[in-house]
Amino acid sequence: MQADERFTDATWPASPEKATLEGKNKYLGFWLFLGGETVLFASLFATYLALKDKVPNGDAALAKDLFELPLTFVATMLLLTSSLTSVYAMYHMKNNHFKQMQAWLVITVALGFAFLGLEIYEFNHYVHEFHHTFTSSAFGSAFYTLVGFHGAHVAFGLVWIISLMVRNARRGLNLYNAPKFYVASLYWHFIDVVWVFIFTVVYLMGMVG
Amino acid sequence: MANEQSNSANPNVDLKYRRKKNAEEMKHQVITFTLMIFFTLIAFAAVGIEGFSHWFIKPVILLLAVVQVIFQLYYFMHMKHKGHGTIALFLFSGLAVGLITVLTFVTIVWI
């Protein structure tokens, strides 16, 4: 099977992301990377948990002063929904529907941007209302490193998906780019996995005290 | 196995079958998503509604997060499909190292 071969709906393989050796290797290699990312985020979580609420004086804001339920809730819903829309995109990829796949990816990217916008607003709010900055306390450093790293992952994911969409806009689907789209969607899900722990461990448990 | 290519001699019959399989799988994904949203709502409600002790809330929301992540990994990221043994090895190795790090930092590190 040639990677750039033209396919009809009937000849399009059931698992196009794993139909070539390159696709198979990409898939496996990407999961190895995700294993490493797990360790990376776990160490950032560990640092955050050890340094939570470690502030130099009584005036500094603590987790329960900073976090608000509504903002975290909206951000969570945006990211969770974007996970589903990327599942829809991959569903259409498997059915060889290039246009629908692109359309769902556009929605995914839009939700990702909305999430990122909220995060920028949130950080800005903490810095200006609470003087909670990266250098104001050990708590601040640990918080911005963990949540900021996740935000950077979201930003990278957006650049990645947009690049794939633009680069393949006129090419359509083939076995060369199917694994690329698939792996990008896996990355997007992983970002969501990390966020589930961030909203639980950082925000919800921070509000509980 | 939903993702395996079948070897029917007639590609059109095969196509119909695969489309149906894919649609079925998509339906399961939407159910998974609904459950995930439901768990998220419970977690936020547990924190938002006053009156629960934090000894009760913390383990419950952590458990909800773990369940949600299992859904995400096994359904959205397809780990429930066959041929994911090596992938599971990668992920669980990462988790083992990661969880020990977290355990260490919350128990024997104090500042």
> Which residue carries 């997060």 as its tokens?
B65
- Number of folded domains in chain A? 1
- Whether residue A8 lies inside any domain: the answer is no
| Contact between A204 and B44 using a beta-carbon 8 Å cutoff | yes
| Contact between A189 and B76 using a beta-carbon 8 Å cutoff | yes
| Contact between A15 and B4 using a beta-carbon 8 Å cutoff | yes
Kindly report the average pLDDT of chain A as a whole number.
Answer: 94
- Whether residue A41 lies inside any domain: the answer is yes
- Whether residue A58 lies inside any domain: the answer is yes
Judged by CB atoms within 8 Å, which residues 131-170 of A form the interface with B? 138
pLDDT tens string A60-75 = 999 999 999 999 999 9
Those residues with Cβ within 8 angstroms of residue B67's Cβ, 6 or more apart along the chain or in another chain: B39
- Whether residue A128 lies inside any domain: the answer is yes
| Residue A142 confidence (pLDDT) | 97
> Which residue carries 């969501």 as its tokens?
A192
Helix then strand count (H, E) for chain A reads 7, 0
- Closest residue in chain B to residue A32, using alpha carbons only: B90
Instruction: Kindly report the CATH number assigned to the domain that includes residue A204.
Output: 1.20.120.80
Q: What percent of chain A has pLDDT over 70?
A: 98
ipTM: 0.89
- A201 interfaces chain B, CB cutoff of 8 Å: yes
Query: A95: domain range?
Result: 16-208
- A24 interfaces chain B, CB cutoff of 8 Å: no
Radius of gyration of chain B (CA): 20
Average pLDDT of the segment spanning B18-27: 93
- A31 interfaces chain B, CB cutoff of 8 Å: yes
Contacts of A200 in chain B (CB under 8 A): 43, 61-62, 64-65
For B108, the token pair is 């024997």
Average pLDDT of the segment spanning B47-72: 92
Shortest alpha-carbon distance between residue A127 and chain B (Å)? 24
- Whether residue A11 lies inside any domain: the answer is no
